[in-house]
Amino acid sequence: MIDESGKQLGIMKIDEALQLAEERHLDLIQITEKVVPPVCKIIDYGKYLYWQEKKARESKKQKGGETKGIRLSFGISLNDLQTKAKLAKKFLENKNRVKIAMILKGREKAHLNVAKEKIGNFLKIISETTPIKIDQELKKEFRGFTMIITKQ
């Protein structure tokens, strides 16, 4: 049993704990049930919910953002490649991961080296101004190539 200030009150019966919480006009909350006897705390339930939500938000922040996608085509020109690189840099600055995908259709699948070269040029344009880290290496899939990068 723990009171609202964090002081341990020891092991007590549930009736006593409920009465003590009622006297202090607070709620009795079971913190963990994995130990015997279970750990309970006297605290305002609204405050408890607020702290739970705050912990959940903090854990989301630590993930490193969401994954944004950039799709390149086989016949993309240099100017379009630079435009897509600018967009990818913006995603990286916002601490998001960037998934680069190049979809190959028909006879484009026969020219894998050209596709790899275009992706290499794309990475070179990005890395000129923004240091990048490759999370997932260039991977050949059924419809083309994919890779995931983040900012260092």
Q: What pLDDT shows up at residue 66?
A: 86
Fold match flag (14-62 vs 67-151): no
Q: How many Cα neighbours within 13 Å face the side chain of 18?
A: 3
Q: Check: CATH 3.30.110.10 for 67-151?
A: yes
- Residues 43, 3: Cα–Cα separation, whole Å: 7
Taking a C-beta distance cutoff of 8 angstroms, is the pair 110, 119 a contact? no
Decide if pLDDT at 51 tops 60.
yes
CATH class of this structure's domain 14-62: alpha beta
Q: What is the pTM of this model?
A: 0.58
Rounded average pLDDT over 23-52: 89
Residue listed under structure tokens 């200030």: 5
Q: What ranges do the domains of the chain cover? A: 14-62, 67-151
Burial of 149 (0-12, 13-18, 19+ CB in 10 A): buried
Rounded average pLDDT over 97-112: 93
